[in-house]
Structure 1
Amino acid sequence: MTSSKSRVKVASVARPRRTVDQSGRVVGPRGLQTRDQLLDALAALMAQRSVREIRVVDVARSVSTSPATFYQYFEDVDEAVLRLAERASARMPQILALMGRSWRGKRGFETAHAIVEAFIRHWDAHHAVLRLSNLRSDEGDRRFLKLRRDTMTPVLQAIAKLIEEGQRAGRVSKRMHPIAAAAALAAILERLAAYHRSLEGLGVTREHLVETSASILYQIVTGRRAP
């Protein structure tokens, strides 16, 4: 019988060790700083208006540089958005690490609560970028499809492993396919994290959303009612 104290080994999202510019040359420290400034400027502009309204010159001017400098690092605005999405996804392992905590009793619910809270904070911090990245993925852009798959697969696997442990222990129904259940949970978390502000008009606070989502996550993963 598998103990709910067992830990889940989580995978990290692989990232390239070196950053190269459009000519294939490795970017040095100063270049990385400039590149990051351009990405930060683009992210700030995306929070204000549609990416379709953002020109390369707008991004360059935001950091007092030229469009030529932008094109040294990025082919176009869309590629820069991809790099922003990659940067955001690099923080997903921090959320994955939370899944390795105890899932037993009150501590288990605290684990579920921490995961949901971290997921929503992640979306709040990168909302415009993640929303557009998912849209590009839904539209079939292979670059964004791959990024989404590489980012979410470890999440699905970690949740599925927890469900499998619950099934072996006889606590979780075997009618559920672990990956299908994990995908459903991930979809709920992603959708609610992306649009939780739109529920405020219906009287749903952020804390309501976190508590409810954490309860759903805990019950499906452990097969027990939330404490």
Structure 2
Amino acid sequence: MKTALAQPKENQSGQRMGAKGLKTRRRLIDATVDLLNGIPIRDIKVVDIAARAKTASATFYLYFDSVIEVVCAASAELVQSTPQIMALFDSEWTQDNSMEKAISLVRLYIAFWDGHRALLRTRNLAAEEGDVRFVQVREDSVRPLLVALADRIVAAQQAGRTPSFAPAAAMSGTIMMMLERLGALMDVHRARSDVTLEGMIAACAQQVATSVGFPPA
């Protein structure tokens, strides 16, 4: 899902954006993400973004009020419920293939994190600090995945394959938090010898498979 923030029709002056305006806005977003991959948001200035985008600082303000706003716009384009991940939920899960599918899910999720690490960390920190714009784009990004997983859990509960003492939505949200932390901290796990990344992936996948009613034998 992309929000109105990700696909605006007008610039800051209320003028409808044509192809040229959209391209300029695109360059500003891409320049910001590029900078964010190297330095924290607190060190990024409008003049830096404009220079990287090969435009003027005044032009920046035609499209965004601040650095934080362009970062929010970039975040709104991130869809963690990727087509590959959603395709897993559209396929059939069985006792024989549940761990394979769950491992694929975890790997796809953390690969997405790895590809957008700086932006996701910045988005999540802003959301956790209470910025409602970032809270909204974060929720939009993961909602389809949360719903798809919850639907699988409901089906497992109704079939008696998994306990019903916890609501499916709560279980889905808990697994989502686990995936988020694994994605955010995977570099830490890579650096440790006693807790490997592969071990964490397997542990996370086991929880996913169990939640949908097909625990590994």
Same fold (TM over 0.5): yes
Structure 2 equivalent of residue 92 of structure 1: 81
Aligned-partner Cα distance in 2 for 1:106–1:31:
52
Shift of the alpha carbon at 1:131?
Answer: 1.1
Structure 1 equivalent of residue 31 of structure 2: 41
Aligned-partner Cα distance in 1 for 2:124–2:179:
14
Deviations 1:69-110 (A, max 9, x none): 211111110000101100113x52423343212111333333
Identify unmatched segments of 5+ residues in structure 2.
none
Aligned-partner Cα distance in 2 for 1:24–1:93:
33
Aligned pair partner of 1:56 in 14, 39, 46: 46
Aligned pair partner of 1:125 in 108, 115, 127: 115
Identify unmatched segments of 5+ residues in structure 1.
1-12
Over 3 Å counting, the alpha-carbon distance change for 1:67 and 1:102 in structure 2 is same
Aligned-partner Cα distance in 2 for 1:169–1:192:
30
Structure 1 equivalent of residue 211 of structure 2: 220
Question: What is the aligned-residue identity percentage?
Answer: 33
Deviates more, 1:161-170 or 1:204-213: 204-213
Aligned pair partner of 2:18 in 22, 25, 28: 28
Aligned-partner Cα distance in 2 for 1:25–1:106:
57
Deviations 1:90-142 (A, max 9, x none): x5242334321211133333322222122111111111111111111111111
Shift of the alpha carbon at 1:218?
Answer: 0.9
Q: Partner of 2:10: helix, strand, or coil?
A: coil
2:41 maps to a residue whose letter is V
Structure 1 vs Structure 2 CA RMSD = 1.9
1:149 maps to a residue whose letter is E
Structure 2 equivalent of residue 111 of structure 1: 101
Deviations 1:17-51 (A, max 9, x none): 65321122232222222222211111111111111
Over 3 Å counting, the alpha-carbon distance change for 1:67 and 1:176 in structure 2 is same
1:167 maps to a residue whose letter is Q
Deviates more, 1:120-129 or 1:78-87: 120-129
Normalised TM-score (structure 1) = 0.85
| Bigger RCO (CA 8 Å, 6+ sep) | 1
2:202 maps to a residue whose letter is E
Aligned-partner Cα distance in 2 for 1:127–1:117:
15
Structure 2 equivalent of residue 186 of structure 1: 176
**Residues 167 and 173 in structure 1, CA contact (< 8 A), matched pair in contact too:** yes
Aligned pair partner of 1:142 in 132, 136, 153: 132
Deviates more, 1:14-23 or 1:160-169: 14-23
Shift of the alpha carbon at 1:60?
Answer: 0.9
Deviates more, 1:122-131 or 1:201-210: 201-210
Q: Partner of 1:25: helix, strand, or coil?
A: coil
Number of aligned residues: 213
**Residues 103 and 109 in structure 1, CA contact (< 8 A), matched pair in contact too:** no
2:103 maps to a residue whose letter is H
**Residues 109 and 179 in structure 2, CA contact (< 8 A), matched pair in contact too:** yes
Over 3 Å counting, the alpha-carbon distance change for 1:205 and 1:20 in structure 2 is farther
Structure 2 equivalent of residue 209 of structure 1: 200
**Residues 12 and 63 in structure 2, CA contact (< 8 A), matched pair in contact too:** yes
**Residues 102 and 111 in structure 1, CA contact (< 8 A), matched pair in contact too:** no
